[in-house]
Amino acid sequence: MMRLRYSTAVLMACLLIACATRQPGTPVTPGFNLFSQSQDIELGSEAAAQVRRQSDVVQDSRLQAYISNIGTRLASQPGTGNFPYQFTLLNDNSINAFALPGGPVFVNTGLLKATQNEAQLAGVLAHEIAHVALRHGTSQVSKANVVQIPAVLASAAIGQQTLLGQLAQVGINVGVGSLLLSYSREAEREADALGARLMAQAGYNPVEMARFFEILEAQGGRRAPEFLSSHPSPGNRLRLIQQEIRFIPQRQYTADTGQFKQMQQLAAQLPPPNPQRRLQSRAAPRVSPTRPGTPSADFQHVQTSRYELVYPSNWKAFADAESAMLAVAPPEGLLPNQQGLTTLAYGAIVNYYFPRRKGVDLEGATNELVARLSAANPAIRIATRQPGKITVDGCSAIVTHLSSSSPYGGIERDVLVTVERPEGVFYFLFAAPEDGFDSLQPVYEKMLTSIRFRG
């Protein structure tokens, strides 16, 4: 079995259920995520290389060392996760800073010039470090692409394209305003809370972070700083951070290095920023996809933390022992659809789905999941729904037959089996071209009847 290092043991119910706003002083921990920490690092490394190619990186070693020293001091505090943080100053007059998954943090010279003291600069860095530690970027992507991400990660795992390239096919790109770098107000509150704690632990007064954000928000209007477009205000930041500080052990704030004004002067003396270099995208030539060969009559076993099943021995299982997600397919079964998005065209995806509202019955949850599938692939249509219910390993289940356009040409037939489980709605989605589906029916049925739930 080929392993994808998915980060969650199960898809947590809080994914699609509105959760209560966090109270000041309570621990801040990463939320729902389909990516592993190592995939965060891989994605961030690829994206950071792209940012450096497209940006005017400051060449002054004194300025880079100054930013790096402050960032490293903050990142060495408890609660920042095991990520390889890197801090880079960009020669860009816009007031902005951003962090990529896995540790790369970028700060514009415009932001350095706009801060009033080193603690405010440290506050922005602490806030960005918190986004990395809490894995907000990949969490946001996961929530918006809950059905599609398993196929994307599986495709990246077999080397069809880099992880960053696969996400680009789903419309997730690096840049200000992209989903990867745009956060919810709840994520902003969490980053403020953890950032304030990191600042205090490093010796900076956390109130300065709130004061700087208030300065930015006061500018407002059409010329509001770029930072605010991807970091929406969660409300009265000063009040929220002051409430958070009440739960932080009191200490003397003495971290200022005394270099702040000198570094601002050096930044002011830099040459004008070069126009941002644009990389020309090269469309990959269209190649007619090759259909997978006949599935093997021999089957092998795969087991996750919550279930097990069998699959043809000449297919591959993309999963992790700690993950609830599983993609089972031949390598040729993962293809771009008509929208250019990576999808499973031949094989099965197995996962859990959590409805938006508590108390939804199996039929309601199935309808919601079908709507999610349709949003990911507008060509999907409901063909039939099997009357009554079947059972899968003794649990009630519904079978829904779907159709869509196949990347191989013609019609694709999809069979969705949704199963009522205590931990959530388990689903098994089997896809294949319509003209070859009947010959695959025994494979689909054997996989389905082999499912055994654990616990």
DSSP 269-295: TSPPPPPPP-PPP-PPPP-PPPPP-PP
Query: pLDDT at position 191, please?
Result: 93
Candidates 390, 455, 398, 395; CA nearest to 421 is: 395
Secondary structure class of 352 (helix, strand, coil)? strand
| pTM over the 0.85 mark | no
Segments in 55-162 forming alpha helices (H):
61-75, 109-114, 118-133, 136-144, 149-157
Query: pLDDT at position 5, please?
Result: 37
**At residue 227, what are phi and psi to the nearest 5 degrees?**
-55, -35
Query: pLDDT at position 369, please?
Result: 85
Respond yes or no: is residue 128 known to be catalytic.
yes
- Report the alpha-carbon distance of residue 48 to residue 376 in Å, rounded: 28
CATH class of 299-453: alpha beta
Segments in 134-259 forming alpha helices (H):
136-144, 149-157, 163-169, 185-202, 207-219, 227-230, 237-245
Query: pLDDT at position 151, please?
Result: 65
Between vectors from CA 35 to CA 356 and to CA 281, what angle results, nearest 5°?
105
- Report the alpha-carbon distance of residue 441 to residue 83 in Å, rounded: 45
Tokens of 163: 């992880």
Query: pLDDT at position 231, please?
Result: 80
| Percent with pLDDT over 70 in the chain | 78
- Report the alpha-carbon distance of residue 306 to residue 192 in Å, rounded: 35
Query: pLDDT at position 59, please?
Result: 92
Which residue among the candidates 118, 128, 226, 368 is catalytic per the annotation? 128
Residues 6 or more apart in contact with residue 226 via CB below 8 angstroms? 94, 95, 96, 176
Do β-strands 307-312 and 452-453 pair in parallel, antiparallel, or remain unpaired?
antiparallel
* Residue stretches of the chain with pLDDT short of 70: 1-22, 143-161, 166, 168-180, 220-224, 275-288, 319-323, 336-343, 375-378, 386-388
**At residue 195, what are phi and psi to the nearest 5 degrees?**
-60, -40
Query: pLDDT at position 77, please?
Result: 96
Whether the CB-CB separation of 73 and 201 falls below 8 Å is answered with no
Sketch the domain layout of the chain as residue ranges: 17-268, 299-453
- Report the alpha-carbon distance of residue 131 to residue 9 in Å, rounded: 22
Candidates 156, 150, 157; CA nearest to 429 is: 150
Characterise 177 by phi-psi region: left (phi > 0), alpha (psi -120 to 50), beta (else).
Answer: left
Tokens of 409: 């040409």
Burial tier of 296 (Cβ tally within 10 Å: 0-12, 13-18, 19+): middle
pLDDT tens-digit profile of 159-201? Answer: 556 777 767 665 566 555 555 677 888 889 999 999 999 999 9
Query: pLDDT at position 356, please?
Result: 73
Query: pLDDT at position 146, please?
Result: 58
**At residue 426, what are phi and psi to the nearest 5 degrees?**
-80, 135
